[in-house]
Chains A and B, each alone.
Chain A
């Protein structure tokens, strides 16, 4: 691939996502529509490519953020080189026969269905028929004791929330004992489609890959041999084993929709309109270096340093040299994700310390701080109270820092102050008053930028939230050519005889239990 004459290396594009957490109401519409689209099949009943967690909480699968236990992501060895936390290549091959760090189904939950037939088929009698839960795995009646959103709205928090790996010591105690006064926010999660994906690096078969064109990380179902190393390596536990086919499956970022220029299903159906999709251009040659940044708290800036400014002529030249089409460059310049991540710097990555350079970023929620202001008897509407809270209230701030900035409260605090100043200014402007531009200036915004950011975050029109360029025409022609061809002919197989479809023979007979 020809290089640009500049310092910019190989330019690649990625369709990335940002979520504005203050707007998430925890309705789980994204999870449900995703499940209906992708995982309503035998073998992945327990899998949620998209799930919404209540924070604080231990999450799904349980305590997935505890990398001491699950060994996900990357770490630096003594010589500062990037290594998978679950071990090197030899160690991985030695654990092929039994992977010591693989979650079991109980760490997710035992999937159940209900005896719906009983509701209509029960004989007449004095009692109302009920639909009892049955395990999908065994077909037997099962008690429901856990689920993907078991902790919804802090359910069970007195019992479980103290186990949140992001809480330590005194905070854990405080959250456990004062849960009614504690903060709550929702965290929708899906595959991060990382720049330095640990799952891809851990796959012994080389079945997982990152697409050059749009950065989507996929599992090649024909090449996956079921070694299940990706599940361990992913620190977000967003690769799942299909126990019916024995192959790994994961969020596809709805690539068929993305290729057609449409938002993902989770984004399209998001009730709170909190998701943003857009292009990020990045320098593929600097990914490894950024992921190996020695200090965890510098990883955020290192990752931002990998992203390229789509308005920079040097970047544009290098991108053209790398084969990125003009309409994609145009889309990159209109990308809401670039604005939130790199221009206004209000979006932060989830757990940058895993060193996978995740590509689903979050605008941290003000609500934990606002809750704390109220609890402390302050006024949520008064920016001074909020500023004071941001500087003084350690728990919500440090909690957010342990999620989004590898524990650096200053960065999270800065973003929250920016959001507070923006709110206060736009409230004043909307009420026809003189906005406080000095406060705005203190957080690095001017009036025009504030309006722009407000339009993006608060007004959030569909066309502003989703700027997804369709796959390029020549590629699209190739794709449709593949789709319209007869799979039997194109497989190079002799004509006639049985047609072998690439589908698993269903190995659980329907009579053994409701599917």
Chain B
């Protein structure tokens, strides 16, 4: 019933959005999300062998030594910031006593540190990929899509923040971009919410959609393999030789 009412709301609200807005802020995100989900299912079932971080540390380690930790740790902070900024409504943060000014200040400071770390790290990772011939030759088609797309998204994101929230007067994306973002996930798209956001924010959102669509077909899948289970599993792993279940039954009947 909720879904019905929200889709009604969506229908009524999207009446006010132009056709281009509907394509950009409803069709494109949903298509990208669908590709993201279906792509992961397909890749996980079909390509366990290709599911890896595809480390190149063996071939080049000096740039990686700094670039990779900077990028990854920066990315963790950036992702956390996006979760807070996009998924948590402003009303919720205010309810726990964080007013707009405090939120804004915190977001700009923490976001800047994280963003700079991520951009610097990614820059170094891109540099080694371009400058080290060994790494360049080991770069496959998916990397040639991923690295530019990821760089574009990150650069658009950090320029939007820099232009509007650090140098500019401050733009409250939580009232626009975040509303659109949450709308997608509660099945009540609000394309008009983002339609008037500054250009950099809109481009950042679009490139991010494309990044999500490309995700399952690139080395980014290694994100889902973050080995947190290692913290609790026993050190020594024994496995029986590959033998289907029916064989173990055979074994017990023969008394072995």
Contact = CB atoms under 8 A, between A and B. Distances in A.
Interface of A: 89-90, 92-93, 96-100, 102-105, 137-140, 196-197, 200-201, 203-206, 208-214, 221-228, 241, 243-247, 259, 284, 287-288, 323, 325, 471-472, 474-475, 477-479, 481-482, 491-493, 500, 502-505, 507-508, 512-513
Interface in B232-246: 233, 235-244
B104 interface: no
B137 A138 contact: yes
Nearest to B51: A225
Contact of B241 (A96, A213, A491): A213
A228 B251 CA distance: 37
A291 B111 CA distance: 48
B47 interface: yes
A223 B242 CA distance: 14
Contact of B53 (A139, A225, A482): A225
Interface string B54-89: 111111110011101101110000000000000000
B237 A475 contact: no
A502 B243 CA distance: 20
B182 interface: no
Contacts of A201: 235-236
B97 interface: no
Contacts of B66: 98
| Interchain residue pairs A-B with the least CB separation, the first 8 | A204-B227, A246-B54, A222-B48, A201-B235, A226-B52, A478-B247, A502-B49, A209-B239
A223 B48 contact: yes
Contacts of B45: 491-493
A4 to B, nearest CB: 15
Contacts of A224: 52
19 contacts: A93-B227, A97-B71, A98-B65, A98-B66, A138-B134, A140-B133, A208-B237, A209-B239, A212-B239, A227-B55, A241-B58, A244-B138, A246-B52, A471-B241, A479-B241, A493-B45, A493-B46, A500-B46, A504-B50
B231 interface: yes
Contact of A200 (B51, B237, B242): B237
B236 A243 contact: no
A513 B137 CA distance: 10
Given A105-B59, A213-B241, A493-B46, A206 B229 contact: yes
B16 interface: no
Given A204-B227, A206-B237, A222 B58 contact: no
B254 interface: yes
A508 B140 CA distance: 8
B244 A137 contact: no
Contacts of B233: 206
Contacts of A479: 241-243
A325 B255 CA distance: 10
Contacts of B236: 196-197, 200-201, 210, 287-288
Contacts of B65: 98, 100
A90 B231 contact: yes
Nearest to A287: B236
B254 A474 contact: yes
A137 B238 contact: no
Nearest to B228: A93
Nearest to B247: A478
A104 B61 contact: yes
B133 A226 contact: no
B240 A212 contact: yes
Contacts of A500: 46-47
Contact of A213 (B54, B64, B137, B240): B240
B237 A210 contact: yes
B92 interface: no
Question: Chain B contact residues (Cβ within 8 angstroms of A): what range?
Answer: 35 or more
Interface in B166-204: none
Contacts of B58: 102-105, 228, 241, 243
A503 B54 CA distance: 14
State the majority secondary structure of interface residues on B: loop
A224 B54 CA distance: 10
B241 A210 contact: no
Contact of B138 (A97, A211, A507): A507
Contacts of B241: 211-214, 259, 471, 475, 479
A492 B44 CA distance: 12
B215 to A, nearest CB: 16
A148 to B, nearest CB: 15
A341 to B, nearest CB: 21
Given A90-B231, A512-B137, A225 B240 contact: no
Contacts of B105: none
Contacts of A205: 225, 227, 230
A323 B137 CA distance: 50
Nearest to B139: A507
Nearest to A214: B241
A277 B158 CA distance: 62
A491 B44 CA distance: 12
Contacts of B57: 98-99, 102, 104, 228, 241
Contacts of B242: 478-479, 482
Nearest to A472: B256
B164 interface: no
A442 to B, nearest CB: 41
B250 interface: yes
B51 to A, nearest CB: 7
A200 B236 CA distance: 6
Contact of A243 (B59, B68, B140, B235): B59
A186 B241 CA distance: 34
B137 A139 contact: yes
Interface string B112-137: 00000000000000000000011001
B49 A243 contact: no
Contact of B49 (A100, A206, A222, A288): A222
B222 interface: yes
B52 A245 contact: yes
Contacts of A325: 256
B67 to A, nearest CB: 8
Contacts of A200: 235-237
A250 to B, nearest CB: 14
B111 to A, nearest CB: 21
B242 to A, nearest CB: 6
Interface in B26-53: 45-53
A374 to B, nearest CB: 44
B240 A92 contact: no
